[in-house]
Amino acid sequence: MFSFFSHMPSVTKNLLIINVLLYFVSIWFESTGVINLFDLFSSHYIGTPFFEPFQIVTHMFMHSAHDFRHIFFNMFGLVIFGSHLEQVWGAKKFFIFYFIVGIGAFAVENIYYGIQVYQLKNELVAMGYDLSKINDFIMEYKYFAGSEGIASPDPNLVPYHLPEGIGYIKLSLSSGLGASGALFGILGAFVILFPNTELMLLFIPYPIKAKYLIGIYILYEVYRTFNPVIGDNVNHLAHISGAAIGIAYVFISRKFDRGSFY
Q: Give residue-wise pLDDT tens across range 174-225.
A: 888 999 999 999 999 999 999 999 887 766 678 889 999 999 999 999 999 8
- Tell me: the pLDDT tens digits for 165-188? 778 878 888 888 999 999 999 999
Long-range contacts of 5-9 (CB under 8 A, 24+ apart): 8/79, 8/83, 9/82, 9/83, 9/86, 9/87, 9/91, 9/94
* pLDDT reading at 161 higher than 60: yes
Question: What is d(CA 62, CA 161) in angstroms, rounded to the nearest whole number?
Answer: 34
Q: Which domains does the chain have, with CATH numbers?
A: 2-254 (1.20.1540.10)
List phi, psi (to 5°) of 206: -130, 140
Instruction: Give the per-residue pLDDT at 124.
Output: 82
Q: Is the pLDDT of residue 102 over 60?
A: yes
pTM of the entire structure?
0.86
With a cut of 80, say whether residue 144 has pLDDT above it: no
Q: Is the pLDDT at 261 greater than 50, yes or no?
A: no
Least confident of 46-50, 106-110, 128-132: 128-132
Pick from 82-86, 120-124, 149-153 the range whose average pLDDT is largest: 82-86
The single-letter DSSP state of residue 34 is S
Q: Is the pLDDT of residue 16 over 90?
A: yes
Contact 172, 33 (CB under 8 A): no
C-alpha 147/C-alpha 72 separation (Å) is 33
